Amino acid sequence: MRNVQCKRMVASLLVFLVCALLSGCAPIVPVNYYQLSALEMARIAPATPEAGKMVIGIGPVRLPEYLERPKIVTRVTPNRLQLADSHRWAEPLSENIPRVMGENLSVLLGTDRILLYPWPSSRTTDYQLIAEVYNFENEGDGAARLVVRWSVKGQDGGILLSERRSNYRVPATSQGQEGLVVALNEVLGSFCREIAQELTPLLAKPSSSGL
């Protein structure tokens, strides 16, 4: 009986060693990290002197749970998502997207007075952008898609721009992952241009934020 147990132990040890060797020989796939970036364009002058004094709050910007992960998501079909093991976001999209939006709007509206949610209670904003992202990913053909519902509040919390839904789709110029991220940059930039276009008429009003 003892010999049988010894043989079983030896066999188990051999299996373990073989598995360890195989796992050690498996090729290591390098992980590439990506980040959204701001628009590359010259700063636009404020529409009026008062416009440059406006304080704009960005957020909250809510994302669906499937985007709250490091791995980059591709929508292969309307009902199937694919997560890339070797291509990941360098930081959470819930932080990257609002920051890039703030940088873009700073350039597009000609103001440095941008606050990212949550800001200190001692700071006040003239306008607060609230957004809920429904889709932000590349599709099976590489095109980037952004679907977002958004609105703008005034300093008193009242709605200045009623809730609306924006939908953007931009073809990727390259099928490489970096090209796909560039397309995502472009749809986010297009969304920021829409916001700036809608906000510009409001920025002529005097600032009451006190900043």
**pLDDT tens-place string over residues 151-171:** 999 988 899 999 999 999 999
50/204 Cα distance (integer angstroms): 6
- For the chain, the structural domain boundaries read 31-204
In this predicted structure, what is the pLDDT of residue 211? 45
Helix (H) or strand (E) holding 115: strand 114-116
pLDDT single digits (tens) 129-139: 999 999 999 99
Q: How far apart are the first and last CA of the chain?
A: 85
Beta bridge partners of 73: 83
In this predicted structure, what is the pLDDT of residue 14? 55
- Give the CATH fold of the 31-204 domain: Rossmann fold (3.40.50)
Confidence band, pLDDT 50/70/90 cuts, at residue 29: confident
In this predicted structure, what is the pLDDT of residue 94? 97
Q: What percent of the chain has pLDDT over 70?
A: 81
pTM of the full structure: 0.82
Query: Crossing angle of helices 177-199/93-109, nearest 10°?
Result: 50
In this predicted structure, what is the pLDDT of residue 11? 52
pLDDT single digits (tens) 79-125: 999 999 999 999 999 999 999 999 999 999 988 899 999 999 999 99
In this predicted structure, what is the pLDDT of residue 197? 92
In this predicted structure, what is the pLDDT of residue 190? 97
One-letter-per-residue 3-state SS of 27-68: CCCCCEEECCCCCCCCCCCCCCCCHHHCCEEEEEEECCHHHC
Contacts of 65 (CB under 8 A, 6+ apart): none
Does residue 6 carry a pLDDT above 70? Answer: no
In this predicted structure, what is the pLDDT of residue 188? 98
In this predicted structure, what is the pLDDT of residue 19? 53
